[in-house]
Chains A and B, each alone.
Chain A
Amino acid sequence: MKAAEDSIVTTAVDEFLAWGKEHSLFYLLFATACCGIELMQTGGPRYDVDRLGMIPRATPRQSDLMIVAGTITHKMASRVRTLWEQMTEPRWVVSMGSCANSGGPFSKWSYSVLNGVDKYIPVDVYIPGCPPRPEALIDGVMALRERVRRYRTLGIRDRDPYVVAGHEAPFGSHPGKEREATR
């Protein structure tokens, strides 16, 4: 952005849209395990992510960001996928904590826990920790905001936000939901 006069700012439309998206990441009020407690703390008055423009929304259709906070079982995974599909685009996913990243402490002996939510939905930012502290979550959100800033709604995107490096999971793998991994 450039300030031409005192009261006039010239910019590209895309940059303006990205600036707006970056500063209004409404996140879905969704938590499945103890990471949800840290998520609530992050939204509470001490850490107060409202100051970053992050306001919790109760429905996926009004949300830009899904913070997968907690253990996802195989039974829950298809519901997570449904919630993600209901979100409006562009949509972003933060995988919070070891369980959502890789199954965490359940990855070896559990029969029912999904080893990483990225097997069902594409993840933009992974936050390690068991559970991560609110500072870590805010750090992950700041990393995500870098991606949002580079996202181009109208012009050619410099990178597709849905492609995650090292991502090899089969998509559309739960019944009736055949989808391409990227668009």
Chain B
Amino acid sequence: MSALPFSELAARIRARFPAVAERMSENRQPWLLVPAADLLAVCQLCRDDPELDFASLCDLTGWDLLRYPAQPPSDAIVVAYYLHSLRHRHHLTLKALAPRACCTLPSVSAIWPAAIAFEREVYDLLGVQFSGHPRLTRILLPEDWEGHPLRKDYAYPAAYHGVPHARAGQWFEDGPARAPAGAAPPAGGAA
């Protein structure tokens, strides 16, 4: 019934899964890097272990590491899981990497149903495929949208359904490069 510090949380998880790595972010926030192969089992342990008891998935989000000053440089998509224990009042951050070439991670929606909507959002905006998700469709953008806009290499469309994005005579010198209407889907898209 007591909150565990990060070191003990990590030790408890790493005793079962030695491939899980401890990391520290620049602002001194510790987190665990979980290999994709272990992700489901680690999440199951986090929820079911009585000492951990992470009943709540507070947030699930993601971002693109492309052109990000990370060491070592990577072009993967990060998916982060923010867990909170309502009973023990401690929390934990897990992160998993989805490589660009095969952008797939196991879905945790069977463990935390809250992940159903979160994973749809991450799929919509970043194009991560969550295997085992009950209904992985776009949640914010129109269903026929091409590409995933929060990827750093996203090619802005110049038009949608024939409606041009810019107004006549409108042009921004430092704005995003926009693909001509009817162009092929961008590289990061249609995954």
Asked whether, in the complex, the Cβ of B161 is within 8 Å of the Cβ of A173, the reply is yes
Residue of A75, A107, A112, A114 touching B163 (CB-CB under 8 A): A114
User: Within 8 Å of chain A (Cβ to Cβ): is B170?
Assistant: yes
Asked whether, in the complex, the Cβ of A115 is within 8 Å of the Cβ of B166, the reply is yes
Per the bound structure, the CA–CA distance linking A174 and B162 in Å amounts to: 7
- Considering only CB atoms, which chain A residue lies closest to B149 in the complex? A111
| Binary interface encoding of chain A residues 102-124 relative to chain B, with 1 for a CB under 8 A from any of its CBs, else 0 | 11000111011011100110000
Asked whether, in the complex, the Cβ of B168 is within 8 Å of the Cβ of A168, the reply is yes
- Considering only CB atoms, which chain B residue lies closest to A166 in the complex? B168
Main SS class of interface, A: loop
Q: How many A-B residue pairs have CB under 8 A?
A: 45
Q: How large is the interface on B (under 10, 10 to 19, 20 to 34, 35 or more residues)?
A: 10 to 19
Per the bound structure, the CA–CA distance linking A103 and B175 in Å amounts to: 14
Residue of A77, A102, A111 touching B156 (CB-CB under 8 A): A111
Asked whether, in the complex, the Cβ of A112 is within 8 Å of the Cβ of B149, the reply is yes
Residue of A75, A108, A119 touching B142 (CB-CB under 8 A): A75
Asked whether, in the complex, the Cβ of B149 is within 8 Å of the Cβ of A174, the reply is no
Asked whether, in the complex, the Cβ of A74 is within 8 Å of the Cβ of B167, the reply is no
Q: Name the distance in Å between A81's Cβ and chain B's nearest Cβ.
A: 11
Asked whether, in the complex, the Cβ of B168 is within 8 Å of the Cβ of A74, the reply is no
User: Within 8 Å of chain B (Cβ to Cβ): is A175?
Assistant: yes
Inter-chain contacts of B161 with A (CB < 8 A): 74, 78, 173-175
Asked whether, in the complex, the Cβ of B160 is within 8 Å of the Cβ of A74, the reply is yes
Asked whether, in the complex, the Cβ of B175 is within 8 Å of the Cβ of A108, the reply is yes
Per the bound structure, the CA–CA distance linking A103 and B170 in Å amounts to: 11
Per the bound structure, the CA–CA distance linking A77 and B166 in Å amounts to: 15
Known: A74-B142, A74-B160, A75-B141. A111 touches B167 (CB 8 A): no
Known: A119-B163, A168-B168, A174-B161. A109 touches B149 (CB 8 A): no
Asked whether, in the complex, the Cβ of A107 is within 8 Å of the Cβ of B157, the reply is no
